[in-house]
Amino acid sequence: MPLLKSAISGRALRNSHAHVVHEIGLAIVGGDYEVGSLLPNDAELAARFGVSRTVLREAMKTLAAKGMLVPRARIGTRVTERTAWNLFDAELLGWHFEAGVDRAFLSHLCDMRLSFEPSAARLAARRARPAQVARLFLLADRMAEAQSSEAFAMADLEFHMTVLEASANPFMLSVGSLIEAALVSVFRMSSPTRHVAGVAESAQAHRRIAQAIAEGDADAAARAMEGVIVVGWENVQHSDTLSGPAGALPPVLAPARAETGPGAPAPAQPRRG
């Protein structure tokens, strides 16, 4: 849980390699090095960060593996299009939050959560082991009893990761970084622990997920998970720190654009958890 722990502590310990990766990666995400532009040469960057060329080159390989850079012999290292970036990478997601995210980014993140977390809850209702079910209830209780935003956020994240684990699908665990990134946004912008009622409501919503999984009710588990995600989106998107227009629902749940003219069908109503 490095992304959330870093958001909670506000700091991260880094060696020389990690420091260079972080600084250049953050500069790329923040637009200091624009898409399509060439980075300064190795000698300049090595001098700027006070590292050897060996450390610098290893850092460049790390960023290239994330899809952010492409080296070209006798030309230099170029920043790639954002569509090439690996947004499943926890470190890259963290740089987005450091640089500042807008409603559109969080909306896309919410879309992704809605595309797989209800399915994970559905699978967990069929496959969860007794110990995993007990763990879910314990974590819901920890959320209810949390005395700080930090304790609440850690229990919240562990709950969602336990659902992924209980799905018994290894691919589900591989997208856990997206959940962590989403909960970082909640922690920073709209933690329910700022309001006593919010703690109880959120904990109870998570308990409904646990209860549905315990009862083997796959449909109820999926609906309860969808509801938790939508409420989190609704809380975050009204934050004063975000740019971009506010909307009532993430695009994946918004009603389809209505057709015009005689005989046009009524727009579909979004499901609410």
The verdict on 166 and 202 lying in the same domain is yes
Report pLDDT for 273: 37
The verdict on 107 and 221 lying in the same domain is yes
Measuring CA to CA, how many Å separate 158 from each of 142, 155, 184, 206?
Answer: 10, 5, 13, 12
Report pLDDT for 6: 59
The answer to whether the pTM exceeds 0.85 is no
The verdict on 29 and 130 lying in the same domain is no
Q: Which stretch of DSSP H or E encloses residue 126? A: helix 103-127
Q: What 8-state DSSP symbol labels residue 38? A: B
The verdict on 105 and 80 lying in the same domain is no
CATH of the domain at 11: 1.10.10.10
Tokens (6 digits) for 5 = 């722990």
Nearest residue to 110 via CA among 102, 100, 99 = 102
Report pLDDT for 119: 97
> What is the separation of C-alpha 269 from the centre of its chain, rounded to a whole number of angstroms?
26
CATH of the domain at 173: 1.20.120.530
**Running along the chain, 273 residues long, what does each successive block of 10 average in pLDDT?**
55 81 97 97 96 97 98 94 94 89 87 95 98 98 91 92 96 87 70 67 96 98 96 76 54 46 43 38
Identify the domain containing residue 159 by its residue range.
101-242
The verdict on 110 and 237 lying in the same domain is yes
Q: How many domains does the chain contain in total?
A: 2
Report pLDDT for 261: 44
Residue 271 lies in a domain: no
Residue 260 lies in a domain: no
* Cβ contacts of 141-145, under 8 Å, gap ≥ 24: 141/203, 143/199, 143/202, 143/203, 143/206, 144/199, 144/200, 144/203, 144/204
